Structure 1
Amino acid sequence: MKTLKTMMYVAAMLISAGAIAQKSPVSPADFHGAIADQKSYKVVYQLNSDDEKVIKATMRNIMNALDDPRLNGKLEVELVAHGGGVTVFKKDQPYETQLKALQQRGVILAECENTMRERKISKDELFDFISYVPSGNGEIIIRQQQGWAIVHP
């Protein structure tokens, strides 16, 4: 009985492989990316680096997603900073203008309170227009289980 099931499984896999192999490839000229056929999309961008290049790339990635015409009016975005990522929200850093531009486009800006406690950072050191979550990792876990995409540039 076990051998018969194995043989049936192998046969099914071969048939499937044959069907896939028979499909004609999509030419680059015919491919225009995925179709945004859902009513809405949700994404969390995780920032846990104080590297200026990573911070700038993360904010640029968010702006690019917001500017994608397929996602226009359908995208909910949250930027979660923890660990070294807290740098993006510090008043003594040069990111205020970009952060406010993201926030004006509806991006939720969230800082991890665990990071603040561990690094002895007070809310006075951070921009007054950001939000807080108890745990950056917890926020990401919860959002992922709620169906949000997770991007970690």
Structure 2
Amino acid sequence: MKKLVVYLCFLCLLGGHAAIGQQKKKFKAIYQLNSDDDKVIRGTLRNIKNALEDPRLQNKIVIELVAHSGGVTVYRKDQPYEELLKALQEKGVILVECENTLREKNIKKEELFPFISYTPSGNGELIIKQQEGWSYIHP
């Protein structure tokens, strides 16, 4: 009887750990956008939306969009992407712009949407995130 109780306790612990492990499982993906082409920008934003809506990933994924080079276009106030970006941000997407690009292209932060974040280097951000285990996606 004592062995049975110990065995049942052991099974309960295993089941609990498995459930906890499943609850804690988070996927992380970083998308790179370095093109000013409208089709590429819209395709990238659609890919992110599709990942967020994948039933296997819902409420289990963290996504960052890092823009650099021509990709800065997506964050410019004079471009038509504000609604799409805000919808993604409301779903938890982290929107990041490369400060090197701003310097190289002589773009002021005031020209970009106020709700984005910045990184010193887009490439550096990609390298760091990949080292941390993030999936790298370049549509």
TM over 0.5, shorter chain: yes
Q: Displacement of 1:37 after TM fit?
A: 9.6
| Mapping 1:1-150, distance limit 5 Å | 39-150=25-136
TM-score using structure 2 length: 0.83
Flag structure 2 segments of 5+ consecutive residues without an equivalent: 1-21
Q: Displacement of 1:94 after TM fit?
A: 0.1
Give secondary structure in 1 for the equivalent of 2:95.
strand
Q: Which has the higher helix share?
A: 2
Q: 1:38 to 1:149 in 2, by over 3 A?
A: farther
Flag structure 1 segments of 5+ consecutive residues without an equivalent: 1-35
Give 1:100's aligned amino acid.
K
Q: Compare CA radii of gyration and give the structure with the larger one.
A: 1
Tell me how far apart the structure 2 counterparts of residues 37 and 53 of structure 1 sit (CA, whole Å): 36
Give 1:86's aligned amino acid.
V
RMSD between aligned residues: 1.4
TM-score using structure 1 length: 0.75
Q: Displacement of 1:120 after TM fit?
A: 0.2
Give secondary structure in 2 for the equivalent of 1:71.
coil
Identity within the alignment, %: 67
Q: Which residue of 1 aligns with 2:4?
A: none
